[in-house]
Amino acid sequence: MLFLPSLLSEYESVAELYSSRLFPVLSFVPSLISNIFPISLTEVFVVSSVIIIPILLIFFLVRIIRSEQRLRTLRNAVLVFSAVFLVATYQYSMMHGINYSRRPIKSALMLNSSDEYEVADIEEALDFYLNGIISAQSELDHNDKGQTLLMSPISSTLRAGNDSMDRAASIHSVFSGNKVVPKPVWLSAYWSYTNIVGMYNPFFVEANINIDTPEYEIPLTVCHEIAHVRGIAREDEANMTSFIACLYSERADYRYAAYLYAFENLIGDLRHYDSAKSDDLIARLPDAVFADWQASADYWSQFEGKVSEFSSQANDSFLKANRQEDGVQSYMLTGRLFLDYYFQYLADFS
């Protein structure tokens, strides 16, 4: 079970068949069970483990010391551990690991364009995304610092991610899948020390969201984690899925997150060719964008340190172990993807 995802990486069509047909069926029951609980089972498990695991270790050591049949006690402990390990490897491989080996999302979306874009093409796409930012911002409220606010309380904001994903799935069937209730992590302020904004737990088939971050960042995180629940494992592909889901959302706060994400990733490409034009486009951004950028910089600067470094290294190792050779850099999307998507699906409607 542990090495099954690696084996299937040689058989992309088989992995795709599993991810698109079997995974939604096998993950339905565990996701349904997870959805029953309004709180994060992952958070409960982590907090409880801090207390329970040391107690279990002490109990085991006492049993070993006091037992007259230590080999039998040790054998039973190994059997229990093996059973737990088997269940864990099954859950990980079947609920997430195999999905790393499926067909790339770019192929499903037909974004394998070999066309060479000109500077005018980059400007056209940026202008589209900029107008989207301006339009979405006209529907949003702001706090006394000018920062963008979500359109509803956090609980309904998280649930709205399913609707956004479903709207995207009506255009791209690869995004279809089970509905999920994204869970707010109530210890998010402490979680931010790890620089993690969301986490998909394949053992519970649960999407967990850091709700302490600047509000405008939350919609992309929600759709990213739902993408994992729907069988899209690779981080760059989950980010692309999140962008597309937010782009087609009925909610302005979701659309704003998508348009801004695309603009941020493309503006550097234009600056490489025409810094004056890129400055002109940035000058057209609503004041709320600059307030949001400052809020994000201020927020994340307070969590820099050893914990965030260790977390980043651990995540880097995990991603590389799952054949994402770029590690944490795999979260990054190139501006080319936003150009490809614009000219493939959006240009005719702009």
Are residues 237 and 194 both part of a single domain? yes
Is residue 107 assigned to a domain?
Answer: no
Q: Note the pTM of the prediction, 2 decimals.
A: 0.90
d(CA 169, CA 24): 14
Closest by CA position to 92, among listed 4, 25, 221, 224: 4
Are residues 94 and 119 both part of a single domain? no
Q: How confident is the model at residue 256 (pLDDT cuts 50, 70, 90)?
A: very high
Is residue 249 assigned to a domain?
Answer: yes
Q: Per the structure block, which two tokens stand in for 136?
A: 């979405």
Is residue 106 assigned to a domain?
Answer: no
Residue 91 scores a pLDDT above 60: yes
Q: What domain count does the chain have?
A: 2
Is residue 36 assigned to a domain?
Answer: yes
Are residues 68 and 26 both part of a single domain? yes
Are residues 310 and 259 both part of a single domain? yes
Are residues 10 and 148 both part of a single domain? no
Q: Compute CA distances 221 → 12, 211, 267, 278, 306, whole Å.
A: 27, 10, 22, 27, 24
Residue 218 scores a pLDDT above 60: yes
Are residues 40 and 119 both part of a single domain? no
Half-sphere exposure of 258 (CA within 13 A, CB side): 30
Domain that holds residue 75: 4-101
Tens-digit pLDDT profile for residues 143-176: 999 999 999 999 999 999 999 999 999 999 999 9
